[in-house]
Structure 1
Amino acid sequence: MQPRRRPSRHLRGMTLLELSLALAIVALLCLLALPSLGATVSRMRADSLRMQLVSVFNSARSTAITRHEPVAVCPSADGRTCGSDWSRGWLIHRDHGDSGVPPAQDDIFQFRPGYLDAALRATSSQGRQRLRFQRDGRSSGSPLTVDICAAGALRGQVIVNNVGRTRAPRIRDTPECPP
């Protein structure tokens, strides 16, 4: 018959002091990584907005050509009236040429809500509130530039020329955002 084994007096595990020290180290590492994570998320949102604006401008141009009528795009947070910040959303609608009047419900082709991030901002050049496309797809007026800013730094631009073509350069050296 074999002798019975006695349970070991040394239990395997961590003491409360060791656990507290490990949690303190993990918390410190998280605090060090948090600012760079925030900057990365901000940069990714700016890139996403830049590509979405290219898509919506191209969609509005295509709508003008397909329907053979003037179409406008404007920033809109509520889907009914035009605003000034492209990051809050946008509205594609039939253009009657009266820039101060909100579009009628029947004239709205598409509304897309944007971001609610206060650190993200996208404003038009020269105070232009709308981008208009003629029935042949040309953009009326001067070229439009939308500056996309995240956390106070210029992260990208969307530029529409008079022919109606869109380009969207990414800004690498992150200058301060224009006022």
Structure 2
Amino acid sequence: MVVVLVLAILTTIALPSFKSVIQQSRLTTQTNSLVAGLALARSEAIRTVQASGLCPSSDGSSCSASWSGGWLVWDDTNGDGALSSGETVVRFQAADSNLTLSATSGAVVGFDSRGRRASSTDQSLSLQVAKCTIGATGLKRTIAIAATGSVKVTQGACS
């Protein structure tokens, strides 16, 4: 009986900590997947010597306005910055429903044939735990894509 009581107390103490570990792991995995998607879009643009992009998508075959379903990488053969019929979808990644992904400006992250952003402005994506307490540290990642095409990830507080 004493063993059960001690086990119950230890579980009560360890469970919140374990939840945080799971959230951190999901956030890291999804961040790495998104950074890999950006790297793939950039390398596709350089490899094919034509534009490519990454956009939000819920079905893997068309771009959408919301990042909640995931994202896709495609070869933008006509260079219009939008997924058109006949253009190849290179990869689709479903989003983790336990995380919230949003873009600060623009839905499409496009790259030109030199691997630079199709737009001359920087762009950033924010990824955080869905039910994150405002101000909680370590449960948000900001992925900044510079006009040069380089990507930088920073850790921050939930907002």
* Contact persistence 1:80–1:103 (CA under 8 A): no
List per-residue Cα deviations over 1:61-86 (Å, max 9, x = no partner).
01001111110101223212223226
Give RMSD over aligned pairs. 2.1
2:108 aligns with one of 130, 139, 156:
130
Q: Name stretches of at least 5 consecutive residues in structure 2 with no aligned partner.
A: none
The offset of 1:23, in angstroms, is 1.8
The offset of 1:103, in angstroms, is 4.1
- After superposition, the Cα gap between the structure-2 partners of 1:140 and 1:30, relative to the gap in structure 1 and judged at 3 Å, is same
What is the 5 A alignment of 1:41-60?
Answer: 41-60=22-41
Q: Which amino acid aligns with 1:164?
A: G
Q: Which amino acid aligns with 2:150?
A: R
Q: Which amino acid aligns with 1:139?
A: R
Match of 2:149 in 1: 164
What is the 5 A alignment of 1:83-102?
Answer: 83=64, 84-85=66-67, 88-95=69-76, 96=78, 97=80, 99=82
- 1:64 aligned onto 2:45: yes
Match of 1:29 in 2: 10
Match of 1:149 in 2: 128
Question: Structure 1 CA distance, aligned partners of 2:8 and 2:59?
Answer: 40
- After superposition, the Cα gap between the structure-2 partners of 1:72 and 1:51, relative to the gap in structure 1 and judged at 3 Å, is same
- After superposition, the Cα gap between the structure-2 partners of 1:106 and 1:98, relative to the gap in structure 1 and judged at 3 Å, is closer
What is the total number of aligned residue pairs between the two structures? 149
Q: Name stretches of at least 5 consecutive residues in structure 1 with no aligned partner.
A: 1-17
Q: Which runs of 4+ in 1 moved over 4 A?
A: none
Question: Structure 2 CA distance, aligned partners of 1:103 and 1:115?
Answer: 26
List per-residue Cα deviations over 1:101-127 (Å, max 9, x = no partner).
x5436521111223232xx1111112x
- After superposition, the Cα gap between the structure-2 partners of 1:65 and 1:24, relative to the gap in structure 1 and judged at 3 Å, is same
* Contact persistence 1:68–1:136 (CA under 8 A): yes
Larger-Rg structure: 1
Of Structure 1 and Structure 2, the greater strand share is in 2
Could you state the TM-score of these two structures normalised by the residue count of structure 2? 0.82
